C-alpha cells in the first residue's frame, strides 16, 4: 500500500509541475506514461506469471494502427468517439493476444521468448507489406488529435488524459495482481507443476494473463498513435519489444510500478541524454548490464529491502 501512495504522490507531483516545464518535457512525460502502460503489461507476464515476452510491441502496433486507420480512412475517433477507439484498441490487442496465445502458451522460458519474438515479427511483416491498409513503410499520418470539449492537440491536456488512463490502468492491474487470480499467477511463476497438481488449470491462467496483457498493449497503442501523430512498422520492430522488456527488468519485475520507473530511465536516456551527449547508448547498455548483475529486483529492489 505504501508503494501506491508513493506512486500517486510522484504522479501528482509530475502533474503539478508539468505546466511549468517546456513542451518538449511534457511530451516526454506523456511518452513515459504510455510506455509505462505497455511495460506494466509486460510485467504482468514476466514479473507475475514468469513469461518473458519479446513480442508485446505487436499489440501496441495493433492498437496504434487501428487508431490511425479509423482516424484517417473513416474519420472516426476524433471526437467523443475517441473513448470508443480506446475500448476498440484494447479489444483488438486482446483479440490478437487471444489468437497468438494459442500458439505461445504451450511454451515457457526461452521457448516462449522465441515464439513471441516470431509472432511479433509476423505482425511487423503484415504492417510492412499490407500497403493499402497500413501505408507500408511510409506509415499512416494522423491529421490531428481528438477534440471533445477539450482539445487534445494541446500537449498539456493530452498529458493529463494520458496520466488519467495510466492511473486507471495501474489500478486495474493492481487489483488483478492482488486478487486470487493474480496470486495464482505468482504461484505458477514459482512452481507451475505444483499448481497443476493442486488442480489449477495453469494453461488457462497463463492464457488469460496473456490476453489481458495484450489488451493493455492495445491501449498503449491507441495513445502512442496520438502521441506521435504517425504510426509506422518501426513501432512493431523487435527493438521496440526489447525496450519494453528492458524497462521492466530495469525497474523491477513483479512490482507494476517498476515498469514506470524503467520507462522513465529508458526514455530519459534515449530522448533527453541523447540530445546532450553522443555516448548515451553506452550508458543505457551499462545501466542495463549492471542492473541485471547486481540488482535482480531492479531499481524497485533497492526499496524493497528483505523481499526477494
Tell me which residues touch other proteins (CB under 8 A).
22-24, 27-28, 31, 52, 102-104, 106-107, 109-111, 113-115, 117-119, 121-122, 124-125, 128-129, 131, 136-139, 141-144, 153, 224, 227-230, 232, 234-235, 238-239, 242, 245-246, 249, 271, 274-275, 278-279, 281-282, 284-286, 288-289, 292-293, 296
Pick between residue 83 and residue 111 the one whose CB is nearest to other proteins.
111
Pick between residue 104 and residue 170 the one whose CB is nearest to other proteins.
104
What is the DSSP track for the chain? -HHHHHHHHHHHHHHHHGGGS-HHHHHHHHHHHHHHHHHHHHHIIIIIT----S-THHHHHHHHHHHHHHHHHS--SSSTTHHHHHHHHHHHHHHHHHHHHHHHTT--HHHHHHHHHHHHHHHHHHHHH-HHHH-GGG-EE-----EESEETTSHHHHHHHHHHHHHHHHHHHHHHHHSHHHHHHHHHHH-HHHHHHTT--HHHHHHHHHHHHHHHHHHHHHHHHHHHSEE-GGGGSHHHHHHHHHHHHHH-TTSSHHHHHHHHHHHIIIIIGGGT-S-HHHHHHHHHHHHHHH-TTHHHHHHHTT--
Pick between residue 193 and residue 275 the one whose CB is nearest to other proteins.
275
Pick between residue 51 and residue 170 the one whose CB is nearest to other proteins.
51
Pick between residue 20 and residue 279 the one whose CB is nearest to other proteins.
279
| Phi–psi pair at 147, nearest 5 degrees | -140, 115
Residue 15 · residue 160 · CB < 8 Å? yes
The minimum distance between CB 228 and other proteins, in angstroms, equals 4
The minimum distance between CB 3 and other proteins, in angstroms, equals 23
The minimum distance between CB 178 and other proteins, in angstroms, equals 24
The minimum distance between CB 171 and other proteins, in angstroms, equals 28
The minimum distance between CB 24 and other proteins, in angstroms, equals 4
| Phi–psi pair at 296, nearest 5 degrees | -60, -25
Pick between residue 204 and residue 289 the one whose CB is nearest to other proteins.
289
The minimum distance between CB 39 and other proteins, in angstroms, equals 14
Pick between residue 124 and residue 170 the one whose CB is nearest to other proteins.
124
The minimum distance between CB 199 and other proteins, in angstroms, equals 24
Amino acid at each position: 500500500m505504501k508503494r501506491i501512495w508513493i506512486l500517486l504522490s510522484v504522479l501528482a507531483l509530475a502533474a503539478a509541475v508539468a505546466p511549468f516545464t517546456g513542451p518538449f518535457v511534457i511530451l516526454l512525460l506523456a511518452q513515459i506514461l504510455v510506455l509505462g502502460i505497455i511495460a506494466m503489461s509486460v510485467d504482468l507476464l514476466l514479473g507475475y506469471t514468469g513469461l518473458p515476452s519479446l513480442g508485446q510491441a505487436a499489440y501496441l502496433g495493433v492498437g496504434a494502427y487501428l487508431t490511425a486507420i479509423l482516424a484517417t480512412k473513416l474519420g472516426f475517433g476524433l471526437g467523443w468517439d475517441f473513448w470508443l477507439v480506446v475500448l476498440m484498441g484494447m479489444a483488438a490487442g486482446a483479440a490478437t493476444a487471444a489468437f497468438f496465445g494459442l500458439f505461445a502458451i504451450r511454451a515457457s522460458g526461452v521457448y516462449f521468448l522465441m515464439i513471441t519474438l516470431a509472432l511479433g515479427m509476423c505482425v511487423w511483416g503484415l504492417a510492412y507489406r499490407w500497403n493499402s491498409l497500413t501505408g507500408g513503410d511510409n506509415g499512416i499520418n494522423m491529421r490531428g488529435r481528438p477534440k471533445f470539449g477539450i482539445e487534445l492537440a494541446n500537449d498539456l491536456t493530452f498529458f493529463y488524459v494520458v496520466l488519467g488512463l495510466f492511473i486507471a490502468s495501474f489500478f486495474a492491474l493492481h487489483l488483478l495482481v492482488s486478487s486470487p487470480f493474480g496470486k495464482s499467477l505468482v504461484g505458477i511463476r514459482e512452481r507451475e507443476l505444483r499448481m497443476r497438481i493442486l488442480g489449477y488449470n495453469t494453461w488457462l491462467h497463463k492464457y488469460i494473463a496473456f490476453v489481458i496483457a495484450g489488451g493493455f498493449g492495445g491501449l498503449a497503442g491507441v495513445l502512442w498513435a496520438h502521441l506521435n501523430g504517425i504510426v509506422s512498422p518501426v513501432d512493431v520492430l523487435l527493438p521496440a519489444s526489447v525496450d519494453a522488456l528492458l524497462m521492466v527488468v530495469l525497474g523491477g519485475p513483479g512490482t507494476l510500478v517498476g515498469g514506470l520507473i524503467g520507462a522513465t530511465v529508458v526514455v530519459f536516456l534515449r530522448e533527453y541524454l541523447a540530445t546532450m551527449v553522443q555516448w548515451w547508448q553506452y550508458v543505457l547498455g551499462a545501466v542495463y548490464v549492471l542492473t541485471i548483475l547486481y540488482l535482480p529486483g531492479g531499481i524497485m529492489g533497492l526499496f524493497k529491502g528483505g523481499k526477494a
